[in-house]
Amino acid sequence: MSQLDGMTIAITGAAGGIGAPVARLLARAGARTIGIDRVECGACDTSIVTDLSDDTALSELADRLGRETPDILVNIAGVMRFGLHESQPVEALALCYRVNLLVPAVLARAVAAPMRERGSGQIVNIGSVLGSIPYPWFAAYSSSKAGLAALSQGLRRELLSTGVVVTHINPRAARTPFNNAQVNRFLEITGMKADEPDWVAGRIARAIIERRETVNIGATERIYAALNAIAPKLIDNGLASQIRRARAEFS
């Protein structure tokens, strides 16, 4: 018997560069997958085509997940914002915070009580290393992912000893269409590592199957995240040369 036999898993962003391979791996482990995205999710058993930026659509999705609660909810859908914060349109900022933080919060709210009442379940939030090491030119994205980390930790403490696990995973950058040309150039000039999507998906799937609580991908990034938490000035100094190179190109 596979680890996820008989389980139903709902995945937001399931048609994307990370969501699709995650869905395939979870299906391979025995799960029935429901893809939630703006288009049909070919890697999933069934799809819910919806627009998470729309209030009515989000409310309807939350109601549906509250009634037809999956065994596992995986929040992968995300929006990237890159560039000087002062140049970001307000509408773009609102969308970034909505999809990266509000949507996972609303969907977690919808499934938490039914999962707790039946004594089993898992809520999985896919964050980013930039949430624990906030980078310039990614201020909105970093802060939305930092908020997701806090949401995950708060939920985990609320649901202790209920049978419901909250898993929070921080990947590094991955080589997907999620990154536009400017982001890829930023990765290049700063020397930031970008992982292959299938490798990242494998780490995510394993964390879900093992019901891990917190997973930070990348040994160096784990060290930097810990340092940023206790001595952020050290990280300021460490990033100074990267910031100079980026400022010369993007400011």
Which residues 6+ apart lie within 8 Å of 200 measured at CB? 18, 171, 172, 174, 217
Average pLDDT over residues 210-237: 92
Residue 76 lies in a domain: yes
Q: What percent of the chain has pLDDT over 90?
A: 80
Q: What is the pLDDT of residue 50?
A: 98
Question: Is the pLDDT score of 176 beyond 90?
Answer: no
Residue 2 lies in a domain: no
Average pLDDT over residues 193-202: 93
Distance CA 82, CA 141 (A): 8
The CATH number assigned to the domain holding 52 equals 3.40.50.720
Residue 46's CB: how many other CB atoms inside 10 A?
12
Residue 3 lies in a domain: no
Average pLDDT over residues 112-132: 97
Distance CA 126, CA 92 (A): 20
Average pLDDT over residues 62-81: 97
Number of domains in the chain: 1
Residue 52 lies in a domain: yes
Q: What is the pLDDT of residue 2?
A: 67
Please say whether the beta carbons of 219 and 109 come within 8 A. no
Average pLDDT over residues 75-92: 95
Residue 131 lies in a domain: yes
Residue 105 lies in a domain: yes
Residue 69 lies in a domain: yes
> What is the tens place of the pLDDT at every residue in 158-173?
999 999 999 999 998 8
Question: Is the pLDDT score of 236 beyond 60?
Answer: yes
Which residue segment(s) compose the domain that 40 sits in? 8-250
Residue 42 lies in a domain: yes
Average pLDDT over residues 239-248: 87
Query: Which residue in 24, 22, 20 sits closest to 37, CA to CA?
Result: 20
* pTM of the shown model: 0.94
Distance CA 12, CA 37 (A): 6
Distance of CA 189 to the CA centre of its chain: 25
Average pLDDT over residues 182-210: 91
> What is the tens place of the pLDDT at every residue in 109-119?
999 999 999 99
